[in-house]
Structure 1
Amino acid sequence: MSDDPSRIPVIDFGPFMDGTESSRRAVAGQMRQASKEWGFFYLAQCGMPQTQLADAFSASRSFFSLPIEEKNRVAWQNAQSNRGYVGIRRERLDPSRPGDLKEAFNLAPEEPGPDAPRNLWPSGHGRFKDVMSGFLEECICTADRVLEAFALALDQSADFFVDAHSHHHHTLRLLHYPPLPEGFEPLDGESRAGAHTDYGSITLLFQDEVGGLEVRTRAGDWVRAAPIPGTVVVNTGDLMHRWTNHVFCSTPHRVNVAPEFSHRDRYSIAFFCHPNKDAEIACIDSCATAESPAIYEPISAGRHLQEKLANTYGA
């Protein structure tokens, strides 16, 4: 186990947002290399307002401090909606292991129409709704900028990925890992979050100072992705792995808080970016060659997500 986060690339996104065309291509090239070798990187200067991020963490802590009865009134119901509160041990990111030692709250952009799923907001907590709704919009903007850079990195038009995500079928997830009691003995294979890959195209992860994220290298070693102030962790998911014919990799990761932090609360916020449900995920032309032909048959993004969620929740 390595504690050196510098092994995972740190990329300054500022030149992509404000620089020349050559600067933008240089940043996109760094992101392509990091996504190929690691599937993970830290992104600095991504444009996310730090005050808004701090407000989101504060609102998250307030929600998880509510009585369990109040949280259960907005409990997660099904994979089709994928919204609401997820209790401790309810989820198993590694299906072969016991339930994860964490709780979560999912929300997502709401589509028009009377039958569209709605977010499950706790009654009487208007500030929580306002803060998280605003933060969700900011995450969409940040993700679109990253997707634009990915398109440039793969020699596609700038709007290639952004257009494929235009319906905003994303999920914002608040996460709380409660302190472990003195003398706690885990069940067989029990952990804060089991080893897994993410399902969609990209994930933005915001960590508190406790950290706990671990990333598996290509050699099979686990490296701690320690928090770096002012950065967001970006990783590529299963659909991007498939879409790019393994040019961008989906890398296993897990959460195992270091022993010195085991008696502290750990909070993180993840934004899971997913293509439009009807988007066809087929090998991008620039990612296939005669020597490396397309590996996968096309699949719709929506079908892929439902299969993954059903495996995770046993639904």
Structure 2
Amino acid sequence: MGSCNIDETKVPVIDFEDFPVQSQKLIEACEEWGCARIVNCHSILPASLMSEMKQVVRSLFDLPQEIKERNKHILPISGYAPLNVINPFYESMGMYDMSSPQDVETFCSQLDASPSQRDIMIKYTKAAHEVIMEIGRKFGEGLSLTKGDVFEGWASQLRIIKYHFRPENMGSTGLATHTDAAVLTLLHDDDCVGGLQVITKSGELVAVDPLPGSVLLIIGDAAVIWSNGKFHNAKHRVICKDTDAADRFTIASFLLGPKEAAIEAPPELLGPDRKRLYVPATFHELRKIRVHNNLHNGEVLDLVRAKP
């Protein structure tokens, strides 16, 4: 896809302070784009906290290798992922459920976080999870669902990511084209270093440039099941795009799904003329199918499609 032209069209922008006016715009963005730029969510996730968390992330990646390797995997690719032959520019760390105080504490302890770093991470994970919960409430409003807190009790995985970009890497792939397995991703992007590209339904590449103080919502495979096919799972990738390339730091919060129950469409999205399109499945089942079959671009949905 490296030879494709890049469309500079901007992805939809959703103002978090302009609801319910923006309700339909949010749903349309999820249906047509599978992503949206969210602005003005600072009443939940303050800009100062976002900046502080970025500084913590930078310092954690400066830790000695043996300390970073303490960040063990609970799910596949939930712990420390070092640079390797397949992903020579991509390094990441994470925790399984940032809504769990115990998981946050374990992550901090693994990496010998200072009291100040712990305080920032506790505040950030709580706030980012609440933004995700609020997105769920806004989905509920836009889709006329009876239940208000539609994602209450669902697990949210956190990953912090460093792309080791250098000028000589320009044009190289930092993260190959893929869809996210989760219901949704809340991406706290790098404020200065770009490289994220979204692929539209028609196959066009759209550059998603940094916008400090905002977050990017990306719809994943599991949301297609949950929305009964209404939402679009956005394919995306990261490339080294700048001649003055520098390290790129991002924070991704993934809403995985219920901790025990299956992901399935709410009753309001089903009916005589709207049959269930996908077999209910837990996130862990979907993830297992995806990993076992090496499916990274939404193909897993074909394997859980309901029979007519």
Q: Percentage identity across aligned positions?
A: 25
1:28 aligned residue: 23
Contact kept in structure 2, 1:276 and 1:302, CA below 8 Å: no
2:221 aligned residue: 238
Does 2:6 correspond to 1:2? yes
Does 2:259 correspond to 1:277? yes
One-letter code aligned to 1:231? S
Give the TM-score normalised by structure 1: 0.81
Q: 1:111–1:58: structure 2 CA closer, same or farther, 3 Å change rule?
A: closer
One-letter code aligned to 2:196? L
- SS at 2:66's partner residue? helix
Q: 1:308–1:111: structure 2 CA closer, same or farther, 3 Å change rule?
A: farther
Give the TM-score normalised by structure 2: 0.82
Q: Distance in 1 between matches of 2:51 and 2:156?
A: 21
CA distances 1:55-90 after superposition (whole Å, capped 9, x unpaired): 000000111122323322x2433427x643211138
Q: Distance in 2 between matches of 1:300 and 1:38?
A: 25
Contact kept in structure 2, 1:56 and 1:131, CA below 8 Å: yes
1:12 aligned residue: 15
Contact kept in structure 1, 2:98 and 2:129, CA below 8 Å: no
Q: CA deviation at 1:150?
A: 0.5
1:50 aligned residue: 47
2:173 aligned residue: 191
1:121 aligned residue: 110
- SS at 2:240's partner residue? coil
- SS at 1:171's partner residue? strand
CA distances 1:284-309 after superposition (whole Å, capped 9, x unpaired): 33334555422111112332244446
Q: 1:309–1:111: structure 2 CA closer, same or farther, 3 Å change rule?
A: farther
Contact kept in structure 1, 2:165 and 2:240, CA below 8 Å: no
- SS at 2:177's partner residue? strand
Which of the numbers 88, 95, 105 marks the counterpart of 2:93?
Answer: 105
Contact kept in structure 1, 2:179 and 2:235, CA below 8 Å: yes
Please list, as runs of the form range in 1=range in 2, the aligned pairs for 1:187-226 lying within 5 A after superposition.
191-208=173-190, 209-226=192-209
- SS at 2:18's partner residue? helix
Q: Distance in 2 between matches of 1:133 and 1:250?
A: 30
Q: Distance in 2 between matches of 1:147 and 1:227?
A: 24
Q: CA RMSD in A?
A: 2.9
Figure out how many residues of one structure are paired with residues of the other and give that number: 286
Q: Distance in 1 between matches of 2:25 and 2:60?
A: 38
CA distances 1:27-78 after superposition (whole Å, capped 9, x unpaired): 2211100000000000111132000000000000111122323322x24334
Q: 1:122–1:4: structure 2 CA closer, same or farther, 3 Å change rule?
A: same
- SS at 1:85's partner residue? coil
- SS at 1:146's partner residue? helix
Q: Distance in 2 between matches of 1:309 and 1:50?
A: 36
- Which of 145-154 and 223-232 deviates more? 223-232
One-letter code aligned to 1:9? P
One-letter code aligned to 2:13? V
Q: Distance in 1 between matches of 2:41 and 2:231?
A: 20
One-letter code aligned to 2:223? M
Q: 1:105–1:206: structure 2 CA closer, same or farther, 3 Å change rule?
A: same
Q: CA deviation at 1:159?
A: 2.2
Q: Distance in 1 between matches of 2:289 and 2:59?
A: 32
Q: CA deviation at 1:254?
A: 0.7
One-letter code aligned to 1:171? Q
Contact kept in structure 1, 2:141 and 2:148, CA below 8 Å: no
